[in-house]
């Protein structure tokens, strides 16, 4: 088994923090869509747990952690309730939410990769599931909300790329037997910082070479 990044207790609480901030982003989108309380709760749950649920089903970790730990299920509901009653205040703290979301991205891409490898997947497959763990909930959120997923929109700041960099660091460390709590932490921080820089400087992936299109460019901000 790969050495854990943190003790089980600390890891559990970090997971809950990541789940909470992901749930906030889902609940906020539901409010912007003018959904009712049930829709807010559903979108919060899907955004928070979707990536980890997909990973666990793929690797055969059943029942998934989302269904074996009550805290994982309750935390998104707490976030949904907070947004339901205090969404104007939460909207004003969007920058802070984005920072925590970036931290969750960094943490989940690393833990998703290591868990997939622990269950017998190869390095490439483990990296792919690490990225899916980090971004899967957001993709499901956008699909359910009838939006083009932010993951594939050129006008959104880089999101998957920082997660990919984090997972690459992890699999290289595994390959060369150098994965420790320190190197895992480096991977988390690297993904986190890259995401913050992408938001700060609006880094975006390049589009097709010599692309010519009359499509109107959309410039709305990242959710």
Q: 163-189 pLDDT, tens per residue?
A: 999 999 999 999 999 998 899 999 999
DSSP 18-42: HHHHHHHHHHHHHHHTT--HHHHHH
Query: What H or E segment, with its residue span, contains residue 220?
Result: none
Contact 59, 121 (CB under 8 A): yes
Lowest mean pLDDT among 140-144, 196-200, 214-218: 214-218
Q: What share of the chain is helix, strand, coil (3-state, %, to 5)?
A: 75, 0, 25
pTM of the model as a whole: 0.86
Confidence of residue 216 (pLDDT cuts 50, 70, 90): low
> Is the pLDDT confidence value at 90 over 90?
no
> Is the pLDDT confidence value at 221 over 80?
no
Domain boundaries, the chain: 8-201
Higher pLDDT, 213 or 147: 147
């Amino acid at each position: 088994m790969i050495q854990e990044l943190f003790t089980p207790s600390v890891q559990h609480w970090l997971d809950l923090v990541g789940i909470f901030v992901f749930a906030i982003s889902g609940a906020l989108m539901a409010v912007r869509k003018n959904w009712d309380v049930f829709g807010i709760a559903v979108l919060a749950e899907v955004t928070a747990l979707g990536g980890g649920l997909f990973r666990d089903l793929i690797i055969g970790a059943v029942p998934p952690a989302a269904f074996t730990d009550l805290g994982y299920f309750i935390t998104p509901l707490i976030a949904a309730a907070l947004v339901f009653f205090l969404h104007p205040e939460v909207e004003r703290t969007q920058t802070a939410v984005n920072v925590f979301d970036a931290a969750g991205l960094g943490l989940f891409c690393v833990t998703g990769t290591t868990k997939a490898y622990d269950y017998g997947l190869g390095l490439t497959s483990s990296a792919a599931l690490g990225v899916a763990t980090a971004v899967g909930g957001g993709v499901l959120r956008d699909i359910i909300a009838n939006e083009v997923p932010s993951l594939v929109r050129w006008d959104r700041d880089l999101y998957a790329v920082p997660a990919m960099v984090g997972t690459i660091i992890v699999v290289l460390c595994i390959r060369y037997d150098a994965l420790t709590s320190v190197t895992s932490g480096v991977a988390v921080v690297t993904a986190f910082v890259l995401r913050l820089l992408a938001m700060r400087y609006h880094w975006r992936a390049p589009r097709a070479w010599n692309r010519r299109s009359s499509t109107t460019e959309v410039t709305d901000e990242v959710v």
